[in-house]
Amino acid sequence: MDFRQEIREDDIIVFSLLYSSITVVFAMAVLSKFLTNEFRFGFRSFLSLVVLFIGEPLCQFFVQGPGGLLVFGFGCLCIYSILPASHLPAGDKVVLVTGCDSGFGNALVKKLDSIGMKVFAGCLYSDGPGAIDLTNSCSDRMKILQLDITKPDEVSDAVTCVSQHLGEEGLWGLVNNAGVWYFAELEMTSEKVLQKVLDVNLLGAVRVTKACLPLIRKAKGRIVNVSSLTGRVPVEGNGAYAMSKHGLVAFSDTLRLEMRKWGVHVALIEPTGFSTGNMKDYILRSRKEEIWNSLGEATQLTYGREYLDSTYSNIISAVPRFPKDLSPVIRSMRSALLSKRPRERYPCGMGAEIVICLYPLLPIWLGDKLSVAIGFIPKMLLPKTLRSQNRV
């Protein structure tokens, strides 16, 4: 009995050493991702901690023996496989980014320039405040381009300028970031406003992508399209915007399949609400007036000016709660451009991954309640005609 007991104690010591070895290797691998700025605390990092602190004792004391060791090792391998991959060298790569006057585009250009990439920043106003800010903040590698993506001539001129600065390697990346947001119910969205939103958010991205494809195919590079949570989850009052982003999702998914044979990867960035140029007070007030002035008299009488004013007041009061830190979106864009194992979709922002995954699984009535809950229109706010009827 003593001999068998001694053998068992020796086995326990051996297995403990093996478990410790796997734990140390896994912990060092995860830590290296934090230290190289490729990984931030989130759901996947939480799983890593669960495996380290709960998985090991569960396998060691309940599964036991070689089986427990194999389960623990396989679990570590599975978790590590879903962590962000390391990044490719940035220094020799050229990227074109649209919509760089403010917001995500402006912040992305500064980030990519800081890690040594050569960036062409497409601005709606090449002599505007955003372009001046980039010129003062970035190195000489960064070039400002005059680029209104709704104008084919400017798109053609910008792509020609980029091609003249490229070598044999071609254009590594295109980030279709330019976008515009109008908040109005569909009946209050005139055809003129709808056309503007679609032209910028969808057709503009298609226009720039098709113009750049020969250069991107040459580099076997990356296309990154900036969509939104509303690209997959409809939100009341975001009809025109959601239509454009739903279209961009379909465009990206189809393009991804078609570009695989060329070695080109297509990724979709899906942020929640952030404090960007579209959310500035004067921009919101200007677009409110544009919405109202574009309506026919019958629609104005149906909804009433008070309804539109109250809706936009609610939005303006909510803006301070929007995150000003754009780094979650910028990290996703950088990963889509440089990761050795890029993802097809990057939900980013508080709760984005949960909402996008949960919404398609819900029954329609419950999904509608979720959409209303994340919207801007208070339940008690009613159009003019409905208010009149309720008083009768």
Q: What is the pLDDT of residues 38-47, one digit of tens each?
A: 555 556 666 6
Give domain status of residue 266, yes or no: yes
Residues 283, 360 within the same domain: yes
Give domain status of residue 382, yes or no: no
CA 305 to chain centre: 34
Residues 78, 103 within the same domain: no
Which of residues 97 and 361 earns the better pLDDT score?
Answer: 97
Task: Supply φ then ψ for residue 296, to 5 degrees.
Answer: -75, 165
Residues 215, 71 within the same domain: no
Residues 332, 285 within the same domain: yes
Give domain status of residue 385, yes or no: no
Q: What is the CATH number of the domain that holds 195?
A: 3.40.50.720
pTM: 0.81
Report whether 131 contacts 115 (CB < 8 A): no
Task: Respond yes or no: is residue 241 known to be catalytic.
Answer: yes
Residues facing 339 on adjacent strands: 87
User: What percent of the chain is predicted at pLDDT more than 70?
Assistant: 82
* pLDDT, average across residues 17-42: 68
Residues 72, 158 within the same domain: no
Residues 76, 101 within the same domain: no
What pLDDT, on a 0 to 100 scale, did the predictor assign at position 2? 45
> What is the span of the domain harbouring residue 283?
94-373
pLDDT classification of 77: cutoffs 50, 70, 90 = confident
Give domain status of residue 33, yes or no: yes
Residues 72, 100 within the same domain: no
Residues 76, 123 within the same domain: no
What pLDDT, on a 0 to 100 scale, did the predictor assign at position 171? 96
CA 33 to chain centre: 20
Tens digit of each residue's pLDDT (9 = 90 or more) over 96-137: 999 999 999 999 999 999 999 999 999 999 999 999 999 999
Residues 65, 153 within the same domain: no
Tens digit of each residue's pLDDT (9 = 90 or more) over 201-220: 999 999 999 999 999 999 99
3 state DSSP class of 346: strand
Total domains, the chain? 2
What pLDDT, on a 0 to 100 scale, did the predictor assign at position 47? 65
Q: Which of 19, 125, 182, 241 is catalytic?
A: 241
Spatial separation of the C-alpha atoms in residues 25 and 391, rounded to whole Å: 71
Which of residues 276 and 389 earns the better pLDDT score?
Answer: 276
Q: Which of 130-144, 170-184, 294-308, 355-369 has the lowest mean pLDDT?
A: 355-369
